[in-house]
Amino acid sequence: MLSVQEAFHLILQTVKPVTPHQCSLLEAYHCVLAEGTVSDVNVPPFDKALMDGFAVRSADLPTGEATLQIQETIYAGSVPTLPLQAGQTSQIMTGAPLPEGADAVVQIEHCILNEKQQTVQIETSLVTPGKNMLYRSSVLEAGATVLEAGTFLRPQEIGALAETGSPIVSVRRAPSLAILATGDELVPPEQPPQPGQIRNSNEIMLHTQIFQSQANAIPLGIARDERNHLREKILEGLKSDFLLLSGGVSAGTLDLVPSELQAAGVRQVFHKVNLKPGKPLWFGILEEANRTPCYIFGLPGNPVSSMVCFELFVKLAIRQFMGFPTPEAVPVQARLQLEFQSKGNRPTYHPAQVEWKDGEAIVSPLKTLGSADLRSTVNANAVALFPAGNQLYQAGDKVDTFLW
Ligand SMILES: Nc1nc2c(c(=O)[nH]1)N[C@H]1C(S)=C(S)[C@@H](COP(=O)(O)OP(=O)(O)OC[C@H]3O[C@@H](n4cnc5c(N)ncnc54)[C@H](O)[C@@H]3O)O[C@H]1N2
Ligand code: MOO
């Protein structure tokens, strides 16, 4: 059976980053930059006051005390008209350009103004060059790189692009993911289940996992275990960038998903991966002329399997689609809080609680009844990875964890 690493590799080989498009900064939020940007301005564009007060020549204030002659008042948005000579100062507002000759600002709280004589008496501590000001282009020079291709655009990056003259950018968008829950036993969460029935919890859980991934969810409801109904829903789902099916991918007689996907023209890339939970995972691609491909995941129906497979495999595919330079999840090494007995013949991703103590991650695997026990994941903020085999791990042993 395919290993998790081989499955990751096949997903990265199959999923192509989507073609970039140009858009406004608002539309670019939560997309990935496809081309790097450079600044068209110096930041700041001039020597800039960081305090309301008086622009001074620091050489005039060797002890921090002096009485200086006021030249003018400089507001943010205006330009100074008079340079400072020895013994001179200009009143200045935060954000305004410093006059020529000035190399520091004394904040207004340390100044006594004599309006009649147009002087100011300054009583402050030592004034060094650069105090309460930013030198021109000290943050960024015009022509310098602001953001590299592959940067995920959060509010701070959007602001930096606005500041540096990139109101239109080339980005890769997040995908749309259709969700199709399959199974005759399923009823919507708002409905009380009748004998033999259970609530469709996977759909809403996947929907919110998609939210967490900053992508777009298209829930398609429940498909019955009947070929025509399933086919109709699958064809609808194949219009999205991704189709996530939940259930019907293992070996049951009504596990119709793989054969119906193939009938719809989907090419299977792999079926079954050596991990627990999530072994029956199915992955394929639909490639048709004149459209971007659709990537299809058949997620195992058991809720914890569905959740884990989304975190491990679907997130990787989403990040590859969006053009993240490193789409792989990075494990956090954590020390076991207590000894732990791992069991089973598959590498296991076990619900766990990770805490930080003295800068170190400490992990406690949680009690669970397995892949149908969604309740056990409620106290988890991670999964801990234990290799296949029965092994007694000691408290303090290091294990890989993946934070949720
Ligand atoms: N003979 C074999 N049987 C099973 C195997 C196997 O290899 N050979 N694999 C087991 C493993 S591991 C898993 S995981 C499950 C996955 O099965 P399916 O993906 O086919 O899922 P279903 O059989 O449809 O459902 C499994 C389980 O999950 C519940 N379920 C389904 N959909 C939802 C939903 N939307 N919300 C909440 N719960 C859902 C369903 O009622 C079942 O209880 O197969 C094993 N069997
Ligand atoms: O692999 Mo299954 O997902 O153990 O229950």
Residue 301 CA, ligand 1 centroid: distance in Å: 4
Whether 63 is in a domain gets the answer yes
pLDDT for the residue numbered 254 = 61
∠ CA 355-356-357, rounded to 5°: 120
Tell which atom from ligand 1 comes closest to the C-alpha of 276: 12
Question: Last residue of some domain: 277, 297, 322?
Answer: 322
Whether 306 is in a domain gets the answer yes
Kind and range of the H or E run holding 105: strand 104-107
Q: Same structural domain for residues 259 and 204?
A: yes
Mean pLDDT of 58-86: 96
Whether 26 is in a domain gets the answer no
Q: Same structural domain for residues 270 and 158?
A: no
For position 395, which CATH number holds? Answer: 2.40.340.10
Q: Same structural domain for residues 287 and 186?
A: yes
pLDDT band at 252 (very low <50, low <70, confident <90, very high): low
**Residue in this structure with the two tokens 């080989």, named with its chain if needed:** 13
Question: Last residue of some domain: 152, 172, 192?
Answer: 172
Whether 274 is in a domain gets the answer yes
What is the tens place of the pLDDT at every residue in 319-362?
999 999 999 999 999 999 999 999 989 999 999 999 999 999 99
Tell which atom from ligand 2 comes closest to the C-alpha of 308: 3
Whether 28 is in a domain gets the answer no
Q: Same structural domain for residues 274 and 157?
A: no
Q: Among residues 63, 38, 74, 80, which one has the least CA distance to residue 164?
A: 38
ipTM of the complex: 0.97
**Is 258 a pocket residue for ligand 1 (Cβ < 6 Å)?**
no
pTM of the model: 0.92
Question: Last residue of some domain: 295, 322, 349?
Answer: 322
Q: Same structural domain for residues 357 and 220?
A: no
**Is 277 a pocket residue for ligand 2 (Cβ < 6 Å)?**
yes
Residue 246 CA, ligand 1 centroid: distance in Å: 9
Q: Same structural domain for residues 227 and 307?
A: yes
Tell which atom from ligand 1 comes closest to the C-alpha of 185: 41
pLDDT for the residue numbered 306 = 96
The total number of structural domains that make up the chain:
4
Q: Are 386 and 372 in contact (CB under 8 A)?
A: no
Whether 56 is in a domain gets the answer yes
Name the token pair of 34.
Answer: 């496809």
pLDDT for the residue numbered 248 = 83
Q: Same structural domain for residues 167 and 286?
A: no
Q: Same structural domain for residues 160 and 230?
A: no
Mean pLDDT of 368-395: 95
Mean pLDDT of 153-173: 98
Q: Same structural domain for residues 278 and 388?
A: no
**Is 57 a pocket residue for ligand 2 (Cβ < 6 Å)?**
no
pLDDT band at 256 (very low <50, low <70, confident <90, very high): confident
pLDDT band at 207 (very low <50, low <70, confident <90, very high): very high
- Mutate-to-test residue for ligand 2 from 202, 255, 272, 279, highest number of ligand atoms within 8 A of CB: 279
Instruction: Provide the angle, in degrees to the nearest 10, between the axes of the packed helices 4-14 and 315-322.
Output: 30
Q: Same structural domain for residues 231 and 309?
A: yes
Domain range for 152: 34-42+140-172
Residue 356 CA, ligand 2 centroid: distance in Å: 30
Q: Same structural domain for residues 296 and 244?
A: yes
Whether 29 is in a domain gets the answer no
Q: Same structural domain for residues 396 and 340?
A: yes
**Is 300 a pocket residue for ligand 2 (Cβ < 6 Å)?**
yes
Whether 263 is in a domain gets the answer yes
Residues 6+ apart with CB under 8 A from 15: 295, 317, 320, 321
Count of CB atoms within 10 A of residue 388's CB? 15
% of the chain residues with pLDDT over 70: 99
